[in-house]
Amino acid sequence: MIIGIDLGTTNSLVAYYTKEGPKIIPNRLGRHLTPSVVAMDESEQIYVGDLAVEQNLLHPGSGASVFKRDMGNQKKYSLLHKEFTAEELSSFVLRSLKEDAEYFLGEEVTEAVISVPAYFNDARRRATKRAGELAGFKVERIISEPTAAAIAYGLYQSKKNAKFLVFDLGGGTFDVSILELYDTILEVRAVAGDNYLGGEDFTNVLEDIFFQKFPKLNRAAMDEKTLRHIHKQADLCKLGFSENRKSTMQCKIEDEIYSIDIDLNRYESACADLLERIRHPIKRSLSDAHIRLSDIDKIVLVGGSTKSPVIRRFVSKLFKMIPDTTINPDEAVALGAAIQAAMKERKEAVKEVILTDVCPFTLGTEVCRERDQGRYDDGIFCPIIERNTTIPTSRTERFYTVRDNQEKIRINVLQGESRFAANNLSLGELEIPIPVGKAGEESVDVTYTYDINSILEVEVKIISTGTITKQIFRGQHVDMTDEEIAERFQTLSYLKIHPRDREENKYLLLRGERIYEESVGEKRHVIEHALYQFEKALNTYDPGIIESAKQEFQALLDDMDSYF
């Protein structure tokens, strides 16, 4: 069986296809959402999800989150005394989801379709694929999140041709994609986005309001545990706007309670800069697709952050229509990935659809441009495949020598949008020897071929000799051999993910320890006694006693956690 995975910045989900349609697979705590958080304890036990959240709250510095923003680069995250890249942390999340799927389905799962933001470049996409391989998957396909969401909404089953916009605001990234449907073809017309804009930024706005209200609180001097507590309360305050036009943010700092009531209008006003940042990718995608706002037939909201009334009001005003929210925005991408997985398996219940994608960044090379007679400017970027070109695609440009007796031509393969080569990402270089001659006499045809798996082939043909040189480019730091993947898998395999059969109990213990540290007085005595009783029940190894104690302990924790 091939499963579908939404590997999110804030939360991740896994789904599979049934006769009744796609279904979310619950995790080991019985929940649909698994926080994309990884933590480690002193014995090098790896925790994923809610367990990792509690571990990191209790032991700051033991966990990492929002690492999806750094997929494809070499930034290191420290978990206590060990360092990991974003793709390695993502592999732990994927491995946990794999175990949940296998437990739920009762069979081994080795293949997956994994979603990524549409605006992810080659390095990020390949890092995601490699994370899947490190987790033990054969990654059947990397699918763009908006395309997956469109599939989940069944837009590809519509009988009429239509243009629709997928507005995807998750915890850490923002994507806007314009798709067009005709017959059985679902074509991505344009994508744009911001890899550093998401729900976390809207939470940070509430933190800023809180510190403005209490200027005597010195944010710079606070320890990490206090800052995490404030951030958590800000997030709860943000969720409160879903039910009311006023929400309360209440924090306990050094045994003193700080509380502030925030009106929705004030919050919306404070988010003005972030909302303006959302406008730019929308304008850019419409421009690249060569369509107007009035041409859009439907707006689809995806991502947990689109539940915010601030976002929904903004989208409704901007597009002058009510967006479609019939599917839970948290689950749409995972459900779509599961349908795509079913398509890969050729399941009869799924209507086959041709999915097209686009190249999210411009691909080109570095050239010299003549400024005056005989004078040239170096380091100019020459696009060959423009961004939002439907892929797979192949484009050719001809280039000429610029100096007498020039012996070689250097092809610097670049990705980006700046007109200056130095500001774009270099994927590698080719140096091609050429016959010596006068300036402009020798020329080469440079052909870029870009496929659906984000692999770029560069072919250089010397016109005078017919000599052809080819090379495959996968981007800097984005390629590993099978042997390197196997070696890294072995290196990470000794780090054992916490056993799923004991995870719920461990989660409750960590949660209880965290509440104990946040409490004082009688409340602390109550939680201490409850922790002792629950540990005592666990030590009996009697399933009936443990289950009864667990329900009682969880009810107490829910009641105490609601206080702050």
29, two tokens = 């705590």
Rounded to whole angstroms, how far apart are CA atoms 385 and 397?
A: 10
pLDDT tens figures, 238-259? 999 988 899 999 998 988 999 9
Whole-Å CA distances, 3 to 32, 92, 110, 170, 348? 15, 17, 9, 21, 16
Active site members:
6, 68, 145, 168
Q: What is the pLDDT of residue 352?
A: 61
Q: How many other C-beta atoms are found inside a 10 Å radius of the C-beta of residue 452?
A: 12
Question: What would you report as the CA-atom Rg of the chain, rounded to the nearest whole angstrom?
Answer: 26
Q: What is the pLDDT of residue 372?
A: 65
Q: 4 exposed, middle or buried (CB, 10 Å; 0-12, 13-18, 19+)?
A: buried
Whole-Å CA distances, 416 to 399, 419, 450, 543? 20, 9, 15, 58
pTM over 0.85: no
Q: What is the pLDDT of residue 270?
A: 96
At residue 374, does pLDDT exceed 70? no
Q: What is the pLDDT of residue 369?
A: 81
Average pLDDT, the chain: 87
Q: How many other C-beta atoms are found inside a 10 Å radius of the C-beta of residue 194?
A: 20
Is the CB of residue 389 less than 8 Å from the CB of residue 358?
yes
The percentage of residues in the chain with a pLDDT greater than 90, rounded to a whole number, is 51
Q: What are the DSSP E strand ranges found in 386-479?
A: 390-391, 393-400, 408-415, 425-433, 443-450, 456-462, 468-473
421-444: average pLDDT: 91
At residue 539, does pLDDT exceed 80? yes
Q: What is the pLDDT of residue 371?
A: 67
Q: What is the pLDDT of residue 486?
A: 66
pLDDT tens figures, 276-306? 999 989 998 998 888 888 889 889 999 889 9
pLDDT tens figures, 515-531? 887 776 788 889 889 99
